[in-house]
Structure 1
């Protein structure tokens, strides 16, 4: 199991400075939100991509991939019946895959609830069909780039579509590509009726990526969720990929969020 952290944790720091801080804290991977580089992936030049990849290499840290894929963009929507918008969204996912590859990453985490929530008159079943159609069109590019799309179920506080890991698996089957799997997020799973370790076990073999955070939006170990059974379940299914820290509340300060999260996860893993 490998530990990473999301780069937006470092706020407005230059990317290279965040990479170096994460590496010195003990993380071996960094996960990049495209909006920290530009408002659109189309605006991130080849030179910027090469510079960012080189900065990560020089810091001795691996670029895991991308998340917050559609954040701060305009004109994209996953579950719309508007063919033009959906096709434009497919093309953008293809560009994100090229960006991910150029940065050295291999995983794209698809959350982006504001661009997938149910629109008026669109049922959940129809939204699943539309989302599968949108993503299926982008899959040849993801496959060519060696990038896996990790579908992220989110809780009802974030949206009303793809709320459970089971629904994520259902969408995965509809897309039907070997480069699509599941992303699990502790904060999101805490809203499900099932215990988190059970969700992990039921998703065994299909977890492409994992986010560690608490339901209170802080880092692991900074709220009421006990991560010991979570890491026990991950070890039980032989999960050997990335566990990335993703927080949404930065009030404790950078040092506590970065260093405290990693120490707690290492303690849980070694218990």
Structure 2
């Protein structure tokens, strides 16, 4: 496995789930602390220059683990289940930009809350809106060699696709090889019946994993059963990215240091 940390630009919203802000500074800090990569949480595809990003990554021996799209929903109110055609066109344009960026950096684009809510509508209608956009962006992603990673999110943040079983059911309907799953153990602790069994049951789609403890702090700072998490990931042969998407508590550097110390220390054998 490889260890990554979620970062964003300096202008990211205050509620963005990232540890560090300022792309260049964050890449340097992630390298200094011993991470293998960074997950880029972006509002727009043009927030970062490809040439500069490539230089900063090269100078610090890091990779981009994935492009995260949560701020597209939180900051711009764009989402897959929106009925407004102008908004849908703007969302599609943005996702094509993220996909183009990911074709050079990481090869993965996240779809979390930006899939949008059901919000009291007929669930079948909301799903139809999602599937329409999902196939459109998957078509573009296929041309660019990029995978889309759908993230189940807990019921207190969205009412559409909350656990891994629901995600697998939807992925079967999408039926695209480049549309897979991004479990987050923080959300799984709320929604899945049993984290380890859920990983195993849905193993065919697990492509990328978010880590946070039960309190959304650094791994090891809550009461998450990390033995169960690592043993289940090992049992399904998972060797991809594990990315810290945590609150920067008590401060960003301390949170990032605790994550590295705990994961590379207690569970170092999985990162060798």
- Structure 2 partner of 1:154: 153
- Structure 1 partner of 2:53: 52
Count of aligned pairs:
259
> What secondary structure, in the 3-state scheme, does the structure 2 residue paired with 1:187 have?
helix
Distance 1:100 1:112 in 2: 19
Displacement after TM superposition at 1:75 (Å): 5.5
Please give the residue correspondences for 1:121-270 in structure 2 after superposition, counting only pairs within 5 Å.
Answer: 122-247=121-246, 249-266=247-264, 267-268=266-267, 270=269
> What secondary structure, in the 3-state scheme, does the structure 2 residue paired with 1:190 have?
helix
Distance 2:249 2:191 in 1: 27
Structure 2, unmatched stretches of 5+, are: 9-17
TM-score of the superposed pair, with normalisation by structure 1: 0.88
Deviations 1:139-183 (CA, angstroms, capped at 9, x unpaired): 121112221110000111211111111121122122222110000
Distance 2:112 2:19 in 1: 20
RMSD: 2.0
- Structure 1 partner of 2:84: 82
Contact 1:89 1:134 in 2 (8 A): no
Contact 2:5 2:35 in 1 (8 A): yes
Displacement after TM superposition at 1:187 (Å): 0.6
Deviations 1:44-90 (CA, angstroms, capped at 9, x unpaired): 47xx1221122111110011121134245435221123344334323
Task: Name the CA shift for 1:71/1:83 in 2 (closer, same or farther; >3 Å).
Answer: closer
- Structure 2 partner of 1:101: 103
Contact 1:91 1:138 in 2 (8 A): no
Displacement after TM superposition at 1:226 (Å): 1.9
Say if 2:72 is the partner of 1:30. no
Contact 2:113 2:158 in 1 (8 A): no
Deviations 1:209-238 (CA, angstroms, capped at 9, x unpaired): 100002211111111112111001101111
- Structure 1 partner of 2:12: none
TM-score of the superposed pair, with normalisation by structure 2: 0.87
Task: Name the CA shift for 1:258/1:227 in 2 (closer, same or farther; >3 Å).
Answer: same
Displacement after TM superposition at 1:34 (Å): 1.0
Say if 2:90 is the partner of 1:92. no
